[in-house]
Structures are given as C-alpha cells and as structure tokens.
C-alpha cells in the first residue's frame, strides 16, 4: 500500500483528510457501540442472577412440595420471599434501562433479559400451581413484574415468553408428580397428568411459524407426559387391586416409577 501512496501523492493527501474525517465519525460510532455493550453486559449479569435465583427457587419448591401440610405451607411462604428477591432484580433491570427513556428501551434490550425472564416465569408458575392448583395467567405474571404503585411493567411479558415458560412448567410438574408418588400420594400424579395433558393439547394447536422455539419444548413435554401416563396406568391398576393396603401401594408406586425411568436415557432427570 505504501508504494501506491508514494506513486499517487495527490490522492494520498485527500485520503489522509478523508481518513481523519472518518476517524472522527467512527469515534462517535464507537462511543455508541461501547455504551450499548456496557448496558448489555449489566443486563446479562442481572438476567443470569435471575436465572440462578429462579432455579434455586424451583429446587426449594421441590424439596417442600411433597411434605406434610404444615411444612408445605411454610415452604411456599419461604418461596414467596425468594420470589420477592428475584423481582427486586427485575426492578434493577428497569432502573438500568433509564427512567428518562421511553418504554422502547425495554424492547431494545429484551434479548439479554429474556433467558432470566423465562426461568422466572417457570419458577413463579410452579409456585402458583403448588399454592392454588391453578395455571397462572399471563396477566398475573405481568402484574407480579410491575411496579405495585404505578402498575408500570419492569419488563414486558409477551405471549411467547409466557407460553415457553408454561412449557417448562410441565417438566417441573412431572418431577413433582413422580416425587409425590414415591411418598405414597396418588392424587397428585393423576391431577398433574390431566393438567399437563390439557396444556399440551392447547400448545399443539399453535402453528410452528408463530413460535419456533415451542416445538422442541413440546417434544420434551410429550416425553414427560408419556412417562407420567405410564405411571398413572400402573397406579390406577394398583389402586383397584390394593385399595385397602397403603403399604403395598407405596411399594408398587415406587416400582412403577422405576419402570417408567427405565425407558428414559440415563441422566435425563438431572437436566
């Protein structure tokens, strides 16, 4: 290149001024990109910690979900405390997006925030199910993620976020049902099975072009559903056979569970 510059002195001078001029404009672009990167990184950190806390909340709920009534109620109360801590992080996200800027800023940064949001929705819907036996609605999720006074959302929950979160919820419910079964609780697996089946029917009706990510999750849901249906099948037979022998039922239940697990590739449950 140096040779060319020497060969063409006139264009070399004009190139220099052009380069200087470009350097100035690109410094402005750099400042903009740098500011974006910093915001994105701060949001990713918050989103990650939301993911971690949500996972912990889910484990916490599993630990207490199959306990006796009193312990279970306390577990849910503690869970709500943990949920509040997670919401505080969403509040920080809102603060990060700046108060002066309009609501647009949320959409600009939705991508780094969404992994945490999805995990939170999963956790909060599980908590809600354990407490009420119902499916939390999108409006209820949104309300939890809004400023209680102004009702302004910290982050916006889209139907996509919600549906993907509910799809993850079915996985947690399966785990919950199998855990319940091993403690001799027969009602929970039957109820969960029915519940998940209904959710699956609705999600199967969503055309894939509307929500690409769902179809993979639906496969997962179908696998867990087949598993729990097998459990329910043996459970029903045993219930008829040994209705008056709870100790035998318990044994049978755990055997049915092992059978169902045998069909799964190893390590599936730890996921």
Give the footprint of other proteins on this chain (CB under 8 A).
1, 3-4, 6-9, 11-12, 14-15, 18-19, 22-23, 25-27, 29-30, 32-34, 36-37, 40, 102-104, 107-108, 110, 133-138, 158-160, 162-163, 166, 187, 191, 194-195, 198-199, 202-203, 205-206, 209-211
Select 194 or 241, whichever has its Cβ closest to other proteins.
Answer: 194
Smallest separation, CB 264 to other proteins (Å): 26
Burial class (CB in 10 A: 0-12, 13-18, 19+), 114: middle
Measured distance CA(225)–CA(233) in Å, rounded: 12
Select 31 or 88, whichever has its Cβ closest to other proteins.
Answer: 31
Smallest separation, CB 259 to other proteins (Å): 25
Smallest separation, CB 181 to other proteins (Å): 16
Contact (Cβ atoms closer than 8 angstroms) between residue 157 and residue 106: no
Select 76 or 138, whichever has its Cβ closest to other proteins.
Answer: 138
Measured distance CA(104)–CA(254) in Å, rounded: 52
Smallest separation, CB 76 to other proteins (Å): 17
Select 187 or 270, whichever has its Cβ closest to other proteins.
Answer: 187
Smallest separation, CB 81 to other proteins (Å): 26
Smallest separation, CB 10 to other proteins (Å): 9
Q: What contacts 25, CB < 8 A, 6 or more positions away? A: none
Select 40 or 223, whichever has its Cβ closest to other proteins.
Answer: 40
């Amino acid at each position: 290149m140096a040779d060319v510059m020497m060969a063409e002195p006139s264009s070399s001078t004009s190139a220099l001024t052009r380069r200087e001029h470009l350097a100035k404009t690109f410094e402005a672009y750099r400042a903009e990109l740098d500011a974006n990167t910093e915001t994105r990184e701060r949001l990713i950190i918050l989103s990650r910690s939301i993911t971690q806390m949500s996972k912990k909340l889910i484990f916490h709920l599993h630990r207490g979900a199959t306990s006796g009534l009193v312990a279970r109620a306390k577990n849910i109360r503690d869970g709500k405390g943990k949920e509040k801590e997670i919401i505080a992080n969403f509040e920080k996200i809102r603060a990060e997006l700046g108060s002066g800027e309009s609501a647009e800023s949320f959409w600009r940064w939705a991508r780094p925030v969404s992994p945490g949001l999805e995990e939170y929705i999963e956790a909060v819907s599980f908590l809600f199910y354990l407490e009420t036996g119902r499916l939390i609605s999108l409006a209820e999720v949104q309300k939890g993620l809004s400023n209680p006074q102004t009702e302004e959302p910290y982050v916006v929950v889209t139907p996509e976020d919600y549906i993907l979160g509910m799809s993850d919820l079915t996985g947690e419910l399966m785990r919950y049902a199998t855990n319940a079964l091993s403690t001799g609780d027969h009602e929970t697996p039957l109820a969960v099975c029915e519940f998940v089946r209904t959710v699956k029917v609705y999600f199967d009706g969503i055309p894939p072009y509307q929500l690409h990510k769902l179809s993979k999750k639906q496969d997962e849901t179908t696998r867990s559903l087949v598993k729990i249906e097998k459990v329910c099948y043996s459970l029903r037979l045993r219930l008829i056979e040994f209705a008056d022998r709870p100790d035998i039922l318990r044994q049978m239940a755990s055997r049915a569970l092992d059978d169902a697990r045998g069909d799964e590739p190893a390590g599936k449950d730890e996921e």
